[in-house]
Amino acid sequence: MSTSPDLQRDFEYVWHPCTQMKDHETNPPLLMERGEGIYLFDQEGRKYMDVISSWWVNLFGHNHPRLNASVQKQMERLAHVMFAGATHRPAIDLAESLVRLTPDSLTKVFFSDNGSTSVEVALKLSLQYWAQKGHGEKRRFAYLQGAYHGETLGALSVCGMDLFRKPFENVLMDNLEVQGPDCFRCPYGLKREACDAECFEHMDRALNENHETLAGVIVEPLVQGAAGMKMYPPVYLNKLTAACDRLGVHTIFDEVAVGFGRTGAMFVCENLGLKPTFLCLSKGVTSGYLPLAATLTGEEIYRAFYGDYEDFKLFVHSHSYTANPLACACANETLALWREYEFPGALEPKINALRAGGKKLSELQWCGEYRQTGMIGALELVKSRETKEPFAIGERVGYKIYQEALKRGALMRPLGNVIYFMPPLVITEQEIDSMIEIAYDSIRAVLGKTESH
Ligand SMILES: Cc1ncc(COP(=O)(O)O)c(C=O)c1O
């Protein structure tokens, strides 16, 4: 038990997310005091590199003077106003910018306040659209094994991870889980760099057999984050959007995690020239400052809700903090920083440095696979390279490595046996090298000292 009075009070009063609170009897949380750039500082002044951007939100670093000023300036004018019957310039500016940055087919922005709610909005819009078009039978969604789209009940209904959905299984919507890409353990024996997404056959079958009752398909484009940064090739998404368009099924691209430059492109859909029916955004939109989310869609959906009041076709979905002006102002400044960042050119050397780091990590005998998409790198640890046998969850290998990395000054919270890197985009190449070194040393410290080269 911690001797710090603040941490004792934390243990007494606070229930932390995604945490077995009993762990805090012996390992209290870090009491963070301040942030600066890619670093966080605890109450004793210890410095930690924010390797995973505080759950994938931070892009331009902590305590950024421009972002600070944008919030401060807005605060002095208007901190908040309800968003029904009132509007404000920060939200109008942001909606316009998001529409300009995303595919032409996306023309309308519906704001909410976190990634899960952006998904809820997409699911509800899709269901209501079909109902209003006289297709009430289209009320299920297909999602991939390993999918993660947030933790509200609607979002859990399209979650393909038992860890999150199991306790609620009995009350979730009757949706359709589909076997998706599993490139590390590809059942077809193929490599993601060269395959034709043969695994799409499962989704193809699911769509052909169920399209009459399917409202939509939801995916995390290119990277299934919470599943362990599982990466799959763009061709899967090409096939998916083509099949859905042909069969009249909505496509929901959940770019909550991968949006805003993480993959090396601003948005996956825009970069691949794909036109999803809905696009969900959050996390990086305010560069990790304030909660905000957006669900984008196009005219076809919007028009189905447009009419006289007494038709009751309106979308009745509201959050008190919808389009909070402080968050919108911060998002607008985040986009201003993007414009000055010389994107994507400025990211290229960093992506290369991360790739070089991945090569070094691949030398470790426990490296099952190092994979990378843009500025997201992930190392999947295995007991045996030959058989790809995973470490048992009970061994808590990732957690132990996380603890070792903390001692070395990096906050590297893992996903099971996957150690991954998703740093703020302002990280330098030298800092990427240090991050990799810390990972390398921490893994060796936990798993032994004998590598086979
Ligand atoms: C792909 C994806 N969708 C949705 C969410 C949920 O976002 P939030 O935690 O803001 O509700 C997450 C969070 O990690 C995510 O990775």
Helices (DSSP H) in 341-428: which residue ranges? Answer: 348-362, 397-407
Of ligand 1's listed atoms, the one at least distance from the Cα of 114 is: 10
For residue 425, which phi and psi values (nearest 5 degrees)?
-70, -10
Find the helix or strand (DSSP H, E) in which 429 lies: helix 429-447
Does ligand 1 lie within 6 Å of residue 258's CB atom?
A: no
112 Ramachandran zone, left/alpha/beta (phi>0; psi -120 to 50): beta
Give per-residue burial for 249-261: e unless 16+ CB within 10 Å, then b.
bbbbbbbbbbbbb
Helix (H, G, I), strand (E, B) or coil at 48: strand
pLDDT of residue 1: 65
SS3 state of residue 20: coil
Instruction: Report the DSSP pairing between strands 39-42 and 32-36.
Output: antiparallel
User: Quick one: which atom of ligand 1 is closest to the CA of 255?
Assistant: 1
Q: 442: which 2 tokens?
A: 């921490």
Strand partners, 48: 40
Verify whether ligand 1 is closer than 6 Å to residue 160 (CB atom): no
Superfamily covering domain 31-63+344-447: Aspartate Aminotransferase, domain 1 (3.90.1150.10)
Write down the domain spans for the chain. Answer: 31-63+344-447, 69-340
Nearest CA to ligand 1 atom 8: 115
42 Cβ contact list (under 8 Å, min separation 6): 30, 31, 32, 33, 48
Separation of alpha carbons 206 and 214, rounded Å: 10
Ligand 1 close to Cβ of residue 154 (< 6 A)? no
* d(CA 150, ligand 1 centre) in Å: 5
DSSP state letters, 126-180:
HHHHHHHTT-TT--EEEEETT----SSHHHHTT---HHHHGGGGGGS---EEE--
Ligand 1 contacts CB of residue 114 (under 6 A): yes
Ligand 1 in reach of 404 Cβ (< 6 A): no
Per-residue confidence (pLDDT) for residue 452, from 0 to 100 = 44
Residue 433 carries which side chain, given as an amino acid letter? D
Q: Is 118 touching ligand 1 by the criterion CB < 6 Å?
A: no
Residue 252: name the closest of 283, 288, 225, 214 by CA: 214
- Give the alpha-carbon dihedral of 421, 425, 430, 433, to 10 degrees: 10
218 ligand 1 Cβ < 6 A: no
3-state secondary structure of 13: helix
Helix (H) or strand (E) holding 320: none
Encoded tokens for 413: 């919270």
The pair of three-digit structure tokens given for residue 262, joined into one six-digit string: 């993480």
Within 181-339, strands assigned E span 214-219, 223-224, 230-231, 250-254, 278-281, 293-297
Mean pLDDT by runs of 10 across the 453 residues of the chain is 88 96 94 98 97 98 98 98 98 98 98 98 98 98 98 98 97 98 98 97 98 99 98 98 98 98 97 98 98 98 97 96 98 96 90 98 97 98 95 93 97 97 98 98 87 44
Residue 442 in contact with ligand 1 by CB distance below 6 A:
no
- The pTM (predicted TM-score) of the whole model is 0.97
Name the residue with the closest Cα to ligand 1, atom 7: 115
Of 233, 206, 196, give the one whose Cα is nearest residue 143.
Answer: 206
> Domain 69-340 has what CATH class?
alpha beta
Residue 253 CB less than 6 A away from ligand 1: no
What is the identity of the amino acid at 384? Answer: S
